[in-house]
């Protein structure tokens, strides 16, 4: 069954999304660790869309969808704001260099890529969609 929530691009709505995902996953008979990982992955992508793609503009909205098909969870995060944000150009950071220079931040998408089985981005017109997939098998 597909579930959808729409939020404005404000950091306060990150908790709304975490609760939405947690509530959905609570009925799926998953381990607590897996639930926390999935919530973290969705939270990171939504935060990137809110902060980087939409500059926390509350006039902009994101749609977050959850679906399960053929033993695979699918999460979609879609925005409609014109932006120069280019998530497809992501390159995994050099963690040793981050530690060496004391850099904070910049590792969220690395975690998402490690948690999820597949991460896909597509852009059509002004709509950017991130799809996250996790197999239950």
Looking at the domain covering 3-135, what would its CATH class be?
Answer: alpha beta
Residue extents of the structural domains in the chain: 3-135
Identify the residue with better confidence: 57 or 126: 57
pLDDT at residue 99 above 70? no
Question: Is pLDDT above 60 for 85?
Answer: no
Q: Helix/strand/coil (H, E, C) string of the chain?
A: CCEEEEEECCCCHHHHHHHHHHHHHHCCCCCHHHHHHHHHHHHHHHHHHHHHHCCCCCCCEEEEEEEEECCEEEEEEEECCCCCCCHHHCCCCCHHHHHHHCCCCCCHHHHHHHHCCEEEEEEECCEEEEEEEEECC
Banded pLDDT at 123 (limits 50, 70, 90): confident
Q: Mean of the per-residue pLDDT values for the chain?
A: 87
Average pLDDT estimate for 57-79: 95
């Amino acid at each position: 069954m597909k579930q959808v929530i729409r939020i404005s691009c404000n950091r306060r709505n990150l908790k709304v999304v975490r609760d939405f995902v947690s509530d959905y996953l609570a009925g799926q008979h998953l381990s607590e660790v897996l639930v926390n990982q999935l919530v973290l992955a969705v939270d990171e992508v939504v935060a990137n869309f809110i902060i980087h793609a939409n500059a926390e503009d509350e006039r902009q909205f994101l749609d977050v969808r959850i679906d399960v098909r053929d033993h695979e969870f699918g999460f979609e995060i879609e925005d409609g704001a014109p932006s120069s944000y280019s998530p497809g150009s992501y390159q995994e950071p050099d963690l040793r260099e981050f530690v060496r220079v004391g850099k904070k931040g910049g590792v969220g998408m690395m975690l998402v890529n490690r948690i999820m089985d597949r991460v896909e981005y597509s852009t059509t017109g002004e709509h950017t969609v991130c799809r996250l997939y996790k197999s239950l098998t």
